[in-house]
Amino acid sequence: MTGRDSLRETFFQECEDLLEVMTDGFARLEAAERDPETINAVFRAVHSIKGGAGAFGFEALVRCAHALEDVLDDMRNGRIADAGLVLPLMMRGGDRLFDLVEAERTGVPFDETAADHRALLQELAAARADGSAASPLSAPAEAREEDGFVPTPLAILPLGDAAEAAPDSSLPTLRFRFTPTRTLYINGNDPVALLRALRELGPVTTEATLDGLPPLDAAQWDGAYLSWTVTLEGGASRAEVLEVFEFVAEDARLEFLDEMADAQPTATAVPGIAPVRRLTLGLSSDEAMPPAPGPAPAHASPPVVPSARSAAAHAPPEARQSIRVDLERVDRLINLVGELVISEAMLSQSLSQSGAAQDPAVVTSLGQLKQLSTELQERIMAIRAQSVKPLFQRMSRIVREGAAAAGCEVRLLTDGEATEVDKTVIERLADPLTHMLRNAVDHGIEDPETREEAGKPRQGTVLLSAAHRSGQVIIEITDDGAGIDTERVLAKAVEKGLIPAEAELSEQDIYNLLFEPGFSTAPRISDLSGRGVGMDVVRSEIRALGGRVTLHSVRGRGTTATISLPLTLAVVEGMLIELAGETLVVPSTTLRETMRGTDAAIHRMGAGGPVLVMRGELVPLVDLGLRLGYRAACTDTTERSLLLVESSAGRRAALIVDDIIGQREVVIKGLSENYGQVPGIAAATILGDGSIALIVDVDQVAGNETALRDADTLLSAAGAR
Q: Is residue 155 part of a domain?
A: no
- Residue-wise pLDDT for 264-320, tens only, equals 433 333 333 333 333 333 333 333 334 434 443 333 333 333 333 333 444 444 445
Q: What is the CA radius of gyration of the chain?
A: 33
pLDDT confidence of residue 255: 85
Residue 381 has pLDDT above 90, yes or no: no
433 compared with 146, residue with greater pLDDT: 433
Phi, psi (deg, nearest 5) at residue 256: -85, 120
- Residue-wise pLDDT for 498-519, tens only, equals 888 887 788 888 888 888 776 7
pLDDT confidence of residue 462: 93
Are residues 665 and 322 in contact, defined by beta-carbon separation less than 8 angstroms? Answer: no
Q: Residue 678 sits in a domain of what CATH number?
A: 2.30.30.40
pLDDT confidence of residue 478: 93
For 471, counting Cβ atoms within 10 Å of its Cβ (0-12 exposed, 13-18 middle, 19+ buried), the class is middle
526/582 same-domain check: no
600/589 same-domain check: yes
Residue 642: which of 623, 657, 652 has the closest Cα? 657
89/224 same-domain check: no
Q: How many CA atoms are closer than 13 Å to the CA of 240, on its beta-carbon side?
A: 14
151 compared with 199, residue with greater pLDDT: 199
32 compared with 711, residue with greater pLDDT: 32
558/633 same-domain check: no
538/654 same-domain check: no
Residue 560 has pLDDT above 60, yes or no: yes
Q: Is residue 719 part of a domain?
A: no
Distance CA 535, CA 527 (A): 16
pLDDT confidence of residue 312: 40
One-letter amino acid of 473: V
pLDDT confidence of residue 277: 32
Distance CA 60, CA 143 (A): 13
Q: Average pLDDT for residues 383-387, to the nearest whole number?
A: 80
Are residues 158 and 220 in contact, defined by beta-carbon separation less than 8 angstroms? Answer: no
581/686 same-domain check: yes
pLDDT confidence of residue 332: 82
371/392 same-domain check: no
pLDDT confidence of residue 303: 37
**How far is CA 495 from its chain centroid?**
40
Q: Average pLDDT for residues 348-360, to the nearest whole number?
A: 82
Residue 184: which of 322, 320, 282, 325 has the closest Cα? 282
CB atoms within 10 A of CB 540: 14
Q: What is the band of 341 on the pLDDT scale with cuts at 50, 70, 90?
A: confident
Residues found in the chain: 721
- Residue-wise pLDDT for 86-99, tens only, equals 888 888 888 999 99
DSSP 3-state assignment of 241? Answer: helix
For 269, counting Cβ atoms within 10 Å of its Cβ (0-12 exposed, 13-18 middle, 19+ buried), the class is exposed
Residue 339 has pLDDT above 70, yes or no: yes
Q: What is the band of 649 on the pLDDT scale with cuts at 50, 70, 90?
A: low
Distance CA 340, CA 362 (A): 18
Q: Which of 15-29, 331-345, 355-369, 622-636 shows the lowest per-residue confidence on average (mean pLDDT)?
A: 331-345
Share of the chain above pLDDT 90, in %: 6
Q: What is the band of 571 on the pLDDT scale with cuts at 50, 70, 90?
A: low
Residue 334 has pLDDT above 60, yes or no: yes
Q: What is the band of 544 on the pLDDT scale with cuts at 50, 70, 90?
A: confident
- Residue-wise pLDDT for 141-188, tens only, equals 444 343 333 333 333 333 444 334 444 555 678 888 899 988 888 777
Are residues 410 and 403 in contact, defined by beta-carbon separation less than 8 angstroms? Answer: yes
Q: Is residue 296 part of a domain?
A: no
Q: Which of 186-195, 198-207, 520-529 shows the lowest per-residue confidence on average (mean pLDDT)?
A: 520-529
8/134 same-domain check: yes
Strand runs (DSSP E) across 647-703, as ranges?
Answer: 652-657, 659-667, 681-686, 692-696
Q: Which of 281-285, 391-395, 431-435, 584-588 shows the lowest per-residue confidence on average (mean pLDDT)?
A: 281-285
Q: Is residue 206 part of a domain?
A: yes
CB atoms within 10 A of CB 662: 8
Distance CA 371, CA 360 (A): 16
Q: Is residue 300 part of a domain?
A: no
Pairing label, strands 591-596, 571-579:
unpaired
Q: Is residue 313 part of a domain?
A: no
Would you give the DSSP letter of residue 273? B
Q: Average pLDDT for residues 34-38, to the nearest whole number?
A: 78
pLDDT confidence of residue 131: 46
Phi, psi (deg, nearest 5) at residue 611: -135, 155
Residue 4 has pLDDT above 70, yes or no: no
DSSP 3-state assignment of 583? Answer: strand
Domain boundary among the residues 343, 366, 385 is at 385
pTM above 0.85, yes or no: no
DSSP 3-state assignment of 368? Answer: helix
Q: Which of 262-266, 379-383, 571-575 shows the lowest per-residue confidence on average (mean pLDDT)?
A: 262-266
Distance CA 75, CA 444 (A): 35
For 575, left (φ over 0), alpha (ψ -120 to 50), or beta? beta
Distance CA 708, CA 294 (A): 88
Q: Average pLDDT for residues 629-658, to the nearest whole number?
A: 83
- Residue-wise pLDDT for 667-702, tens only, equals 777 676 667 677 888 788 877 677 888 888 887 887
pLDDT confidence of residue 380: 76
pLDDT confidence of residue 292: 38
Q: What is the band of 559 on the pLDDT scale with cuts at 50, 70, 90?
A: very high
Residue 27: which of 125, 124, 94 has the closest Cα? 94
The CA-based dihedral angle spanning residues 488, 493, 497, 503, taken in that order and rounded to the nearest 10 degrees: -90
Distance CA 493, CA 499 (A): 6
- Residue-wise pLDDT for 78-89, tens only, equals 777 677 778 888
Q: What is the band of 476 on the pLDDT scale with cuts at 50, 70, 90?
A: very high
Residue 691: which of 373, 356, 344, 342 has the closest Cα? 342
| Sequence-ordered list of residues with C-beta below 8 angstroms from that of 76, at least 6 positions apart, any chain | 36, 39, 40, 43
184/105 same-domain check: no
pLDDT confidence of residue 232: 87
pLDDT confidence of residue 214: 83
Q: Residue 544 sits in a domain of what CATH number?
A: 3.30.565.10
Q: Average pLDDT for residues 248-264, to the nearest whole number?
A: 67
pLDDT confidence of residue 529: 53
| Sequence-ordered list of residues with C-beta below 8 angstroms from that of 352, at least 6 positions apart, any chain | none
554/576 same-domain check: no
Structural domain harbouring 559: 388-566
Q: Is residue 312 part of a domain?
A: no
Share of the chain above pLDDT 70, in %: 76
| Sequence-ordered list of residues with C-beta below 8 angstroms from that of 295, at least 6 positions apart, any chain | none
Residue 565: which of 641, 466, 496, 683 has the closest Cα? 466
pLDDT confidence of residue 701: 81
392/342 same-domain check: no
Which CA distances in Å does 555 have to 482, 509, 528? Answer: 6, 16, 22
405/478 same-domain check: yes
Tell me how many domains the chain contains: 5
Q: What angle do CA 277, 198, 42 make, to 5 degrees?
A: 100
Residue 586 has pLDDT above 80, yes or no: yes
Distance CA 233, CA 168 (A): 8
Domain boundary among the residues 385, 402, 424 is at 385
Q: Is residue 708 part of a domain?
A: yes
Alpha helix ranges (H) inside 407-465 = 423-439, 448-453
Residue 696: which of 562, 536, 578, 563 has the closest Cα? 578
Q: What share of the chain is helix, strand, coil (3-state, %, to 5)?
A: 40, 20, 40
Residue 456 has pLDDT above 80, yes or no: yes
Give bridge partners of residue 583 from the DSSP assignment.
Answer: 578
Residue 311: which of 286, 340, 342, 294 has the closest Cα? 286
Q: Mean pLDDT, the chain, as a whole number?
A: 75
